[in-house]
Amino acid sequence: MERIAEETEEDYQKLINLLESFNVDIVRVNTPVSQEEIGKHSKYLMQAPPMCPRDYTAMVGDTFYMPGSGISAEKWETIKGIDWPENTPQSLQEFQNLNAQIKYELSKKFNIFPKSQTLLPIEKLLKSQGNKIIYDTGINTAELTRIGQDLYFGTASYHQDQNALKQKSEELFPEYRCHIINTGGHSDGTFCPVVPGLIVSLYDVPSYAELYPGWEVVYLPGQSWDSVKPFLDLKEKNQGKWWVPGEELNDNFTEFVEQWLGHWVGYVEETVFDVNMLVIDEKNVVCNNYNEQVFKAFDRYGITPHVINFRHRYFWDGGLHCITSDLHREGVQKDYFPERGLT
């Protein structure tokens, strides 16, 4: 575990140094829980730290979408016990004041590292710069691809009601053209529009031809998350038990430790190409490894690839795109498909 933490921070620093060389300003946040508090309440370890801000935040135009800091009445009704106050806590502080009496129930039912608290420095920064903030946990750029005037929403599952998703997206973003892509999960783990005219994708998606007419698609079947499906199945089987002290005699726990801390720690250093790439600009993209087919395509489009191997991306459930979330880009918004018009 110590090695995983150290190598993760090493890879963060490599990514930070690369981005800063392109004059990108970096803002890092920390979980608002001290080591002392963690020691007092070991159940805090039930939840993994929020490593992937892309999974719950999105900047669309000049509006930032992020989780709210309060506790909703619906959430309160779900987690409260029989002797708990009837009134819904109106702030995180009110909620935490109850922690002494209900910490065990909370650790089972509620994420004790509220993402909204983690994002407080970002919230203050964006407000000071005049950005509008909408508190909505349903909008994130792991399932949303922004290309000028067009927004592409990935489905959470292959069986999701696409008509309902499209209706919701059009209600939220009437000034954009909204499209649905049946990715069956986070779209940034399925495909990456690297530059106008080029997409790198794990597998064929029938709607590419319609949604991106004339664009080249480079397919990489069997790469990325598909390569580590046995480990993903094991993580699902364990359901986070590896965070809990006292599980050393649990067979699932033992299997997890032997698989990840033995075989998988070495495996993540192998050459598995991840489409979860971070595009700096039209000439520079950050990727985790070399792939001959992809790099030849980059060369055709005048793109320089920068390799930063985020070695434990499968452990943290996120690649280079997931562990970042862009807040501001210079320039003006373009319309790459003006023939579509605006409704």
Residue 206, SS3? coil
Residue 152, SS3? strand
Please give the chain's pLDDT, 343 residues, in tens: 777 888 899 999 999 999 999 999 999 876 655 556 555 544 434 345 678 889 889 999 999 998 765 555 655 666 566 666 677 666 656 665 665 555 545 544 544 445 656 677 788 889 898 999 887 767 889 999 999 999 999 998 888 899 999 999 999 999 999 999 998 888 998 899 999 999 999 887 778 989 999 999 999 876 666 666 666 666 666 555 555 556 656 677 666 666 666 655 555 555 578 899 999 999 999 999 899 999 999 999 999 999 998 988 877 878 999 999 999 988 889 999 999 987 5
**Count of C-beta atoms within a 10 Å radius of residue 172:** 17
Whether 114 is covered by a domain: the verdict is no
Name residues whose C-beta falls within 8 Å of residue 39's C-beta, 6 or more positions apart in sequence.
none
Whether 231 is covered by a domain: the verdict is yes
Whether 278 is covered by a domain: the verdict is yes
Contact (Cβ atoms closer than 8 angstroms) between residue 275 and residue 191: yes
Whether 115 is covered by a domain: the verdict is no
| Dist. CA 69–CA 121, nearest whole Å | 13
Whether 338 is covered by a domain: the verdict is no
Q: What is the DSSP letter of 262?
A: I
- Sign of the dihedral through C-alpha 221, 160, 324, 148: positive
pLDDT tens digit sequence for 125-155 = 898 989 998 877 678 899 999 999 999 999 9
Whether 100 is covered by a domain: the verdict is no
What is the side-by-side order of every strand in the sheet holding 304-307?
278-281, 284-287, 304-307
| Nearest one of 129, 178, 125 to 154, comparing CA atoms | 178
Whether 67 is covered by a domain: the verdict is no
Whether 33 is covered by a domain: the verdict is yes
Question: How many residues are present in the chain?
Answer: 343
How many domains, in total, are found in the chain? Answer: 1
Q: Which domain holds residue 5?
A: 1-47+186-329
